[in-house]
Amino acid sequence: MDGRGMCNQHFIPSPLKIVRAQKQYMTDNMGVQYLDCVSNVVHVGHCHPQVVAAGKNQMATLVTAQGFINDSLTKYVKELTSHLPDTLNVVYLVNSGSEANDLALRLARSHTSHKDVVVFDEAYHGNLGNLIDISPKMFKRMPQGKKDFVHVIPCPDTYRGPHRDDSPGAAAEKYVMEAERVVMQAIQNNRKISCLFTECVVVNCGVIVPPRNYFSLLYNLIREVGGVCVADEVQTALGRTGECFWAFEHYGVVPDIVTTGKPLGNGYPMAAVITTREISESLGEYYSTFGGNPVACAVGMAVLDVIENEKLVQSAKAVGKTLLENLQLLKTKHECVGDVRGMGLCLALDIVQDKASRKPARELAQTIVHRVKEDHHTLLQVQGPGHNIITITPPMCFTQLNARSLTTALDEALTACCLRNQHSDLMSHPLGLERNQAVLSLEELERFDEEEVTGPEPKRPRTSYDDVD
């Protein structure tokens, strides 16, 4: 420990200190309120009263570790599986997306007695050693590189990938043929495939939406060589992609193992692996001290109730559709918007140097996000392999009104940054704008505390949003 705070920060060089939040709005230590288009974890809205009450009540009634019969566990597992195909009826409750994916890998390997894993290029599946090994986003940039048991197939990106100008059906077939080449090469080398491990709407590769017939073809290929199919729904579960509860449903496939995490507890750390009885029987014993604790189950149950009561899946579809249409208009208007894509409330703008080259415009994307934050008090983030994909993954209570104000904010920022190309001031900032490399010293972190104590300078107006109570 060298006295520095290691932080994964948004909005370097002017990070935010958030002190409270409600619904889809967050307030910083200066009293400024922001429209939150980032917090997919807070699925049903910040501090949803029903979720808070469920956690509080359970915390005051009973908190145990595994080993006791627990009504809230039974109820929650029953409710969660009611949203899944009948064959997926065994649930393991764990504490993070990484833990869920690690267990999924163990299940796939013990069921097949094979070791090898097929993943998308630039995928990310978690922070445990086993998962870094199967996450090209991580291992490609580390000295140890790719392990022999990992087989990387192209992500079916129909905007920037090699098969872009075909019809969706033809592109799907070509991407599956590429996957087949990789898998067959592995088999020839006497490797044995335990599983395909992918997101179905591929958020971590830049919100890639594969063509509709892609996964049925790919799942067939993997099953033919003795592997099982794992759907990583850590980002996309519980209706995020609109209309369907799970992203895999859009593709008409049924995975053998599903993992999820982020949205389950509305910010309370909980995650799950759901699989078939047959696959679970190969695992043997499994223990998790905190997995499925009564508070997690009560909170998780409240989240599922709110999704249903407030019709959030239907809302994500409707609001997402409006937003996507609005973003399409921005694409027509602005040369630097190469592509807009996504489903439900999982959307992205691909910021490019020009429409013809489709080359990622990394600094420009960062500058647009910065402008939207500063001028419109609206929070977005940049992701993807080229660090140029502006992603929109707000709490699911995001409204049509929010969609309209976000579009206006983006339009104005794009006009300022894209047409006039006014981003050189930020590009030259000594800290840079790289989110993942952000390291703040304790001194810098303490500066935010001081600002709070001495009170805000009246330099930024308080923004008010119409639908905050």
Residue from 33, 39, 72, 98 touching ligand PMP (CB under 6 A): that is 98
Residue from 114, 125, 160, 331 touching ligand PMP (CB under 6 A): that is 125
User: What does the alpha-carbon distance between residue 133 and residue 123 come to, in Å, rounded to a whole number?
Assistant: 11
Residue 206 binds ligand PMP, judged by CB under 6 A: no
User: What does the alpha-carbon distance between residue 34 and residue 28 come to, in Å, rounded to a whole number?
Assistant: 8
If binding means CB under 6 A, how many residues of this protein chain bind ligand PMP?
Answer: 14
- How far out from the chain centre does Cα 82 lie? 23
Q: How many CA atoms lie within 13 A of 271 on its CB side?
A: 26
Residue 196 binds ligand PMP, judged by CB under 6 A: no
Q: Say if CB 61 and CB 54 are below 8 A apart.
A: no
β strands within 290-429, DSSP E: 337-343, 346-351, 378-379, 381-383, 389-392
Residue from 55, 255, 261, 384 touching ligand PMP (CB under 6 A): that is 261
Residue closer to ligand PMP by CB (options 42, 225) is 42
Residue from 9, 39, 40, 96 touching ligand PMP (CB under 6 A): that is 96
Residue closer to ligand PMP by CB (options 91, 186) is 91
Residue from 45, 97, 210, 211 touching ligand PMP (CB under 6 A): that is 97
Helices (H), 22-70: 49-61
Region from 182-190, 229-237, 358-366, 407-415 binding ligand PMP, contact rule CB under 6 A: 229-237
Centre a 10 Å sphere on the Cβ of residue 333 and count the other Cβ atoms it contains.
Answer: 13
Q: Is the peptide bond before 13 cis (omega within 30 degrees of 0)?
A: yes
Residue 126 binds ligand PMP, judged by CB under 6 A: yes
Three-class SS of residue 384? coil
Residue 381 C-beta: closest distance to ligand PMP, Å: 12
Residue 1 C-beta: closest distance to ligand PMP, Å: 22
Residue 199 binds ligand PMP, judged by CB under 6 A: yes
Between the CA of residue 20 and those of 17, 29, 82, 158, 408, what are the distances in Å? 9, 9, 34, 40, 25
Task: Name residues contacting ligand PMP, limited to 105-124 (CB under 6 A).
Answer: 124
Residue 127 C-beta: closest distance to ligand PMP, Å: 6
Region from 97-105, 211-219, 366-374, 388-396 binding ligand PMP, contact rule CB under 6 A: 97-105
- Which two three-digit tokens encode residue 67? 């080993």
Residue 373 binds ligand PMP, judged by CB under 6 A: no
Relative orientation angle of helices 362-376 and 400-414, to the nearest 10 degrees: 120
Report the interface residues with ligand PMP, using CB under 6 A. 96-98, 101, 124-127, 199, 204, 232, 234-235, 261
